[in-house]
């Protein structure tokens, strides 16, 4: 299969998942391909569908949990990084780093992306998950996106079409859509104020989050009116370990990889937390991250 895939981009075989997930998971995937552009991606998708070979789009791998082996093709958006800035409007490829974009636009004096300066992953992944922090999220700045539909058509979708909601969107709910580029509308601001906000939030993250270990950020969504971390902490689950995965002692809504975690370790720990929270509080915690089968 590798020879066929190479027609559409760079291909790596027997890919270590540790290189493509922020959890740095043990395990492998059959193939990873970096399509050269939209045309190559479309042809690749047609081929994979015809071969009945499963695939997974990956950006920064910041919200993905793979089991020990993925018997499919990882499609990297690494070549989708074009950026065009026109005043306070920005058109950016889905593979562009969200943190890099947030810092770039902030340094230019545009406000609206300060919340994203600590969120790993890509712009496309951030739209898919409606990533956010500090009471802001992507729904507030996305003007439109260009996608490939499940029927392999290229289509522009506008903010009103995307059904943004807490850590979710139309793309996440419907599946099969692939974000290619994102148009953002920001506002002019004062660089010194923007930089002060970014620095203060960076300090808060360093104090409250286990950033010295591989993780994928918050594991669970906050139930309405409650904080997931507080429920988990009240159950005494900080420090709970399964295999190489551990509930952070610094922030109870983070699972960290202490060095040799598999996706299966993390999934078992997630299931244990969900069970105990359900038993104690009758609350069904909703996973913010995504388990890839």
Which tokens in the block code for residue 40?
A: 């190559």
pLDDT at 101: 97
* 3-state helix/strand/coil string of 84-103: EEECCEEEEECCCEHHHHHH
Q: Which among 144, 218, 248, 264 is annotated as catalytic? A: 218
Q: Across-strand partners of 182?
A: 92, 145
pTM of the predicted structure, to 2 decimals: 0.93
Angstrom CA distances, 135 to 115, 132, 147, 214, 274, stand at: 8, 7, 27, 25, 25
By the 8 A CB rule, do 157 and 127 touch? no
Distance CA 75, CA 43 (A): 13
Query: Measuring CA to CA, which residue among 183, 205, 204, 196 is closest to residue 106?
Result: 196
| Residue numbers of the chain with a pLDDT score lower than 50 | none
Domains of the chain: 2-76 (3.30.43.10), 83-192 (3.30.465.10), 228-292 (3.90.78.10)
By the 8 A CB rule, do 74 and 53 touch? no
pLDDT at 34: 98
At 211-232, the pLDDT tens digits run 999 999 999 999 999 999 999 9
Distance CA 260, CA 163 (A): 38
- Residue 74, by phi and psi: left (phi above 0), alpha (psi -120 to 50) or beta? beta
Q: Which among 62, 131, 167, 248 is annotated as catalytic? A: 167
At 69-118, the pLDDT tens digits run 999 999 999 999 999 999 999 999 999 999 999 999 999 999 999 999 99
3-state helix, strand, coil in the chain (%, to 5): 35, 30, 35
- φ and ψ of 108, to 5 deg: -85, -5
Indicate if 218 belongs to the active site: yes
- φ and ψ of 275, to 5 deg: -65, -45
Strands (E), 200-269: 241-242, 245-247, 255-257
* Residue count (the chain): 293
Dihedral sign from CA coordinates of 194, 163, 220, 93: negative
What is the DSSP code (8-state) at residue 262?
B
């Amino acid at each position: 299969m590798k020879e066929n895939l190479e027609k559409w981009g760079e291909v790596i075989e027997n890919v270590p998942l540790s290189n493509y997930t922020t959890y740095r998971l043990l395990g492998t995937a059959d193939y990873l391909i970096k399509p050269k552009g939209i045309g190559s991606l479309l042809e690749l998708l047609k081929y994979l569908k015809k071969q009945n070979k499963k695939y997974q789009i990956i950006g920064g791998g910041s919200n993905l949990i793979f089991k020990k082996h993925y018997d499919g093709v990882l499609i990297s958006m690494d070549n989708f990084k074009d950026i065009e800035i026109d005043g306070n409007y920005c058109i950016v490829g889905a593979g562009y780093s969200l943190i890099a974009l947030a810092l770039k636009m902030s340094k230019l004096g545009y406000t609206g992306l300060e919340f994203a300066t600590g969120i790993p992953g890509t712009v496309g992944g951030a739209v898919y998950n409606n990533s956010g922090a500090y009471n802001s999220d992507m729904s507030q700045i996305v003007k439109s996106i260009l996608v490939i539909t499940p029927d392999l058509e290229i289509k522009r979708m506008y903010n009103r079409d995307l059904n943004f909601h807490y850590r979710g969107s139309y793309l996440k709910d419907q599946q099969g859509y692939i974000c290619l580029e994102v148009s953002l509308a920001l506002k002019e601001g004062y660089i010194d104020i923007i930089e002060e906000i970014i620095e203060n939030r960076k300090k808060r993250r360093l104090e409250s989050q286990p950033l010295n270990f591989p993780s994928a950020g918050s594991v669970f969504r906050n139930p309405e009116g409650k904080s997931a971390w507080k429920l988990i902490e009240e159950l005494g689950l900080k420090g709970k370990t399964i295999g190489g995965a551990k509930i952070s002692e610094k922030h109870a809504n983070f699972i960290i990889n202490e060095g040799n975690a598999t996706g299966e370790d993390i999934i078992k720990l997630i299931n244990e937390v969900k069970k105990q929270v359900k038993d104690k509080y009758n609350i069904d915690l909703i996973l913010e991250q995504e388990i890839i089968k």
